Structure 1
């Protein structure tokens, strides 16, 4: 059986999530927007209960949560929806994004810079992937209307100093959007709930189902978001389309788990397994090095390791079907260029091509971690 160490690409659904969703595939099949009969009322009640769980997870109000198909749509909606001239402050036309953002953020920002008369600049990061706060302060002029910085990086697990970033943005009157896709399995979101004006989530990154995500939009900004999808006016008119009832229930259940003490315990357990895995590999092996921040300061499941003198792709091929991991973001699969995230933190192309992202999660065990480390050492 394959040992799955690619949880930052997608996590297996939590047992509580599967249990919560099961009845909504058959028994409870109503359209949440059917307002004239009891079946529709029941479906609506289920989606609104899940919305409340997501809102509680983020520490916001339910009416500030918009369901989407995932973080990619949420990020597109946040950036494109605020960027048309009619919705942004007329004198502001500049967007700032960190250089190590997920592709969907970088591409959305590039699109609006090309089509909506916006200027786009990337905020540099240091060798650990942290936004350069001094450079950000210099770049934050009265022309900036939107800043986008992910709380947790999807390749190297860096956790940003969002409090400092938020303070700088608010001092200049800029809107702060943060991609939280990787954050639920890494930190307590309530510690960051009041720092960003918009936040994106993806269900399958924290034990929920694929195909569902959410965008938190502060009440002050809701009337300024231009929809990407038009139709029946669902989701406060911001995101039309019939909600996927079972998926909404699933992301709500995942949010409930991670909001509980069980979520905290899970994060701690995963960190212990990740530390064991890294120590097994790096002990007395100088050619295996950690990319990015210290283990204690990153996503608890992330271990981006560099195998100097080796090719990461070849290592992964030789590990099949024993261990599943990746050389970077799943959305960049098939791209032959080295990881731009690793390049931004100062790695050479050769070093980036020697690097593998191992990401552990709630489904892993100590035996799996030790077996995976043994298999990697054998391949090397």
Structure 2
């Protein structure tokens, strides 16, 4: 039995159509030039390819291509958004007093860690909103946490562990009469749910190509132009990307991102319906094992995510015993100790259930045979461990 891949939320395989487009940008007989080389055809062709990719991603997000800033991925985009907003206020606007950021206790570490850094180094106070038992953040929580000095609200559109979907448009509406900017980590959203920066009315949004069948190491930050959002650059050295992010652009990666965005725009609705049916079948099969708990909301969630906890088994042994099923553990390794998932703890799971939580994530290449095989293997392992 070959290993079954159920970790699409961690990364997706590059779609063969994307890989083909990328390969054409690598060698001497392809489009290998530096997009910043303006003095010859090789550079012009590379720049044209990069700008075509910018348009493809912008079209997917309902954005202006000039609002797309290339980065190395969502982690860099999150850092640029969070630190860039605060440092611009400190340096350009000469704001001296404490600033305030609102985020949630179940954000990705790529948001929580920059927030900790800003607390330590930039006199920023951070409010961590607590989700309900289903992993949802109520927009009213944001309104209740707002202060006069709140400069930024940062919430993920789709939670990376639970798959729960935040009502971003409702959060944005609550900020209409407040100067705070709204940043959305959409790494888990793009390619899984419809994403529309105009309908959501966001100021900043992070995107990662390898979450929607593009290559690793490339992503983007949406930066609203009207009204213009101003950021302090975090990487200097040439003033690329309208001064917000310097560095030679990787033509092949950006072409891959653009092609991946194009495919999502054409196929997402069909993919989502098929994947949701597979996810529901997987949940029914796992639930039948007994003493299995769904982590996250049964309705307000991504079709791609299924997070469950198995009572009566040791989490580490469970994960080690599922060598034939590639899933993500609800536990996070920290030095020599293994701590339960902070996301599962935040929604009220006990240490035992948080340790025994597994994230199954499905994708474009998941088949019905994969679902049947996963149900059989997990049932066999859990029954054996309980027995």
Q: Normalized against structure 2, the TM-score is what?
A: 0.93
The one of 287, 310, 328 aligned to 1:282: 287
Counterpart of 1:298? 301
Moved more, 215-224 or 27-36: 215-224
In structure 2, the CA distance between the partners of 1:363 and 1:218, relative to structure 1 (3 Å rule), is same
Per-residue CA shift, 1:321-369, capped at 9, x if unaligned? x110011488989861111111111111111001100101111100011
Equivalent pair of 2:332/2:338 in contact (CA under 8 Å):
no
Asked if 1:59 is matched to 2:59, the reply is: no
Q: Within 5 Å, give how 1:25-40 maps onto structure 2.
A: 25-26=26-27, 27-40=30-43
The one of 119, 122, 125 aligned to 2:128: 122
Aligned residue for 2:340, secondary structure, equals coil
Counterpart Cα distance in 1 of 2:94 and 2:269: 40
Aligned residue for 2:31, secondary structure, equals coil
Counterpart of 2:170? 164
The one of 82, 88, 91 aligned to 1:86: 91
In structure 2, the CA distance between the partners of 1:244 and 1:133, relative to structure 1 (3 Å rule), is same
The one of 350, 358, 368 aligned to 1:366: 368
The one of 267, 270, 277 aligned to 2:275: 270
Counterpart of 1:316? 319
In structure 2, the CA distance between the partners of 1:172 and 1:278, relative to structure 1 (3 Å rule), is same
Per-residue CA shift, 1:34-58, capped at 9, x if unaligned? 0000000000000000001111111
Give the drift of 1:220.
Answer: 4.6
Counterpart Cα distance in 1 of 2:381 and 2:363: 23
Gaps of at least 5 residues in structure 2 are 383-387
Counterpart of 2:17? 16
| Moved segments of 4+, more than 6 Å | 329-335
Equivalent pair of 2:100/2:126 in contact (CA under 8 Å):
yes
Counterpart of 2:385? none
Counterpart of 1:4? 5
Give the drift of 1:113.
Answer: 1.5
In structure 2, the CA distance between the partners of 1:33 and 1:193, relative to structure 1 (3 Å rule), is farther
Counterpart Cα distance in 1 of 2:193 and 2:149: 32
Gaps of at least 5 residues in structure 1 are none
Counterpart of 1:102? 108
In structure 2, the CA distance between the partners of 1:240 and 1:14, relative to structure 1 (3 Å rule), is same
The one of 351, 354, 360 aligned to 1:352: 354
Asked if 1:49 is matched to 2:64, the reply is: no
Aligned residue for 1:364, secondary structure, equals coil
The Cα RMSD (Å) is: 1.9
Number of equivalenced pairs: 376
In structure 2, the CA distance between the partners of 1:329 and 1:11, relative to structure 1 (3 Å rule), is farther
In structure 2, the CA distance between the partners of 1:87 and 1:357, relative to structure 1 (3 Å rule), is farther
Asked if 1:226 is matched to 2:232, the reply is: yes
Counterpart of 2:78? 75
Give the drift of 1:194.
Answer: 3.9
Aligned residue for 1:358, secondary structure, equals strand
Aligned residue for 1:337, secondary structure, equals strand
Moved more, 243-252 or 166-175: 166-175
Aligned residue for 2:25, secondary structure, equals helix
Counterpart of 1:235? 241
Counterpart of 1:178? 184
Equivalent pair of 1:154/1:329 in contact (CA under 8 Å):
no
